[in-house]
Amino acid sequence: MIAGASPPVIEMIGMVFVVLFLFIGQQEIISGRMERAQFFAFLFFLFRSYDPMRKLSRLQNSMEQALAAAHHVLEVMDEHAEIKEKPDAKDLSPLKSNIELRNVSFGYANEERSVLRDINLIIRAGTMVALVGESGGGKSTLTKLLPRFHDPTSGAVFFDGLDLREASLSSLRKQIALVTQETVLFNDTVRHNIAYGKPAATDAEIEEAARIAFAHDFIREMPKGYDTIVGERGIFLSGGQRQRLAIARAILVNAPVLILDEATSALDAESEQFVQRAINNLVRDRTTIVIAHRLSTVRRADVIVVMEAGRILETGTHSELLSSGGRYKKLYELQFADEEEELAGIAGKS
């Protein structure tokens, strides 16, 4: 509010001063204490100083906004401040064998309640593991333990047999690319947004990543191509386009482990198709942990993990879990069966 009101107020004050100086000048000239030329020189410099002053008041506004933004960044950093790297931490090499969660329980620092309880899960390198289950079941929380945004309250996460707490944070996080529902895009060029995780990338590498992510064509159609500025939070892009930029970003860093939080919101059919193809390119040859909201994804997964209230209820493939008739079958009937009908409908027509 104050920021919005202050430039007009400053302009008002400026006007009052100008009128005041004109009046004083007139008196001084009449009384012979000042020459006309002096007065005009004075007026000239007064007007010249007006614009810089106005800019100064604007600068203060941008400073306030920058401070607010910095405050937000610090808040986010604080959230992960509990994580400390050991002095003799080891660098991880690219995942070879598996990631293992062993007897993992976890509760957020500000709450007593456990969000994850006694989780045992092995994610084999090169496979796709899909997490499904009711909202609030702990799926996103589980994925946050892998890049060590949080540490388990008890139990441990192992990366090729090494406890994550023994590993250097930079070598761990270099291994993992995140594609989430809320991709953060910066008010910068498309090129810089894609190269976010690899600032030294060449233009050719950036373009290659965009092609694989099915983003190259829509980028080229933008007013300045790769040099188009993306609006704040990607506001000038559609949901599907933002996701494809996020996928291009992940392809460029080429991390062996991918965490994918599938969008729940529906995209239009064409956009959906492009996003699906981009994701297919992304998951190839990678170890993928996907929070799945789509039938096509869970059907393709090597292992489906059904979570409820912080526990793993069942694990298996789509057909194994359907025939065992447990929680997954109910979930499937509630959440995915409509989609199956649609798919069958399309297949029937063609």
Ligand X SMILES: Nc1ncnc2c1ncn2[C@@H]1O[C@H](COP(=O)(O)OP(=O)(O)OP(=O)(O)O)[C@@H](O)[C@H]1O
Query: Contact residues for Mg ion (CB under 5 A)?
Result: 140
Q: Name which of ligand X, Mg ion, none residue 45 binds, using a CB cut-off of 5 to 8 Å depending on partner kind.
A: none
CB of 216 to ligand X, least distance (A): 31
Smallest separation (angstroms) from ligand X to the CB of 181: 8
Out of 13, 17, 63, 136, the only residue in the binding site for ligand X (CB under 6 A) is 136
Q: Any contact of residue 115 with ligand X (CB under 6 A)? A: yes
Instruction: Write the CA distances from 200 to 41, 192, 252, 318, integer angstroms.
Output: 53, 10, 11, 42
C-beta closer to ligand X: residue 95 or 259 = 259
- C-beta closer to ligand X: residue 136 or 231: 136
The pair of structure tokens assigned to 140 is 């996103």
Tokens coding 215: 């983003």
Under 8 Å CB-to-CB from 287, ≥6 apart: which residues? Answer: 95, 99, 123, 124, 125, 126, 127, 128, 256, 257, 258
138 binds ligand X (CB under 6 A): yes
Q: Please state, in angstroms and as integers, the Cα–Cα distance from residue 263 to each residue in 140, 175, 179, following that order.
A: 13, 23, 10
Q: For 258-336, where are the alpha helices, taking DSSP H only?
A: 269-283, 295-300, 318-324, 327-331
Stretch touching ligand X by CB under 6 A, among 27-35, 59-67, 137-145, 330-338: 137-145
CB of 62 to ligand X, least distance (A): 31
What DSSP string runs through 66-121?
HHHHHHHHHHHHHHTTT----TTPBPPPSP-SEEEEEEEEE--TT-SS-SEEEEEE
Amino acid at 60: Q
Instruction: Tell me how far, at minimum, the Cβ of 111 lies from ligand X, in Å.
Output: 5
Residue 115 interacting entry, from ligand X, Mg ion, none, C-beta within 5 to 8 Å by type: ligand X
Q: Which stretch binds ligand X (CB under 6 A): 135-143, 201-209, 217-225, 341-349?
A: 135-143
Candidate list 75, 111, 270, 285; residue touching ligand X; CB under 6 A: 111
> Out of Mg ion, ligand X, none, which partner does residue 234 contact, by CB within 5 to 8 A per kind?
none
Q: Which does 137 bind (CB under 5 to 8 A by kind): ligand X, Mg ion, none?
A: ligand X
Say whether residue 135 binds ligand X (CB under 6 A).
yes
Query: For ligand X, which is the closer residue by CB, 139 or 148?
Result: 139
287-291 and 128-133 as β-strands: parallel, antiparallel, unpaired? parallel
Beta bridge partners of 224: none
Record the tokens describing residue 328, joined without a space: 């997954």
Q: Which residues contact 68 (CB under 8 A, 6 or more apart)?
A: none
The yes or no reply on residue 306 touching ligand X (CB under 6 A) is no
**In the bound complex, what is the minimum distance in angstroms from residue 138's beta carbon to ligand X?**
4
Q: Does 152 bind ligand X (CB under 6 A)?
A: no
Strand 311-316 and strand 303-308: the pairing is antiparallel
Choice from 57, 60, 105, 140 touching ligand X (CB under 6 A): 140
Query: What are all long-range contacts of 26-31, with beta carbons under 8 Å and residues at least 24 apart?
Result: none
User: Smallest gap, in angstroms, from Cβ of residue 311 to ligand X?
Assistant: 12
Q: Report, in Å, the least distance between residue 306 CB and ligand X.
A: 11
Query: Measured in whole angstroms, how far is the alpha carbon of residue 16 from the centre of its chain?
Result: 49
| One residue of 101, 128, 137, 214 binding ligand X per CB under 6 A | 137
Shorter beta-carbon distance to ligand X: residue 145 or 194:
145
Is 112 a binding residue for ligand X by CB under 6 A? The answer is no
From CA 121, how far away is CA 103, in angstroms rounded?
9
For residues 271 and 267, what is the distance between their CA atoms, to the nearest angstrom?
6
The distance of closest approach from Cβ of residue 240 to Mg ion in the complex, given in angstroms and rounded to an integer, is 20
x/- map, 80-109, ligand X, by CB under 6 A: ----------------------------x-
H, E, C per residue of 229-260: ECCHHHCCCCHHHHHHHHHHHHHHHCCCEEEE
The site for ligand X (CB under 6 A) is made up of 108, 111, 115, 135-141
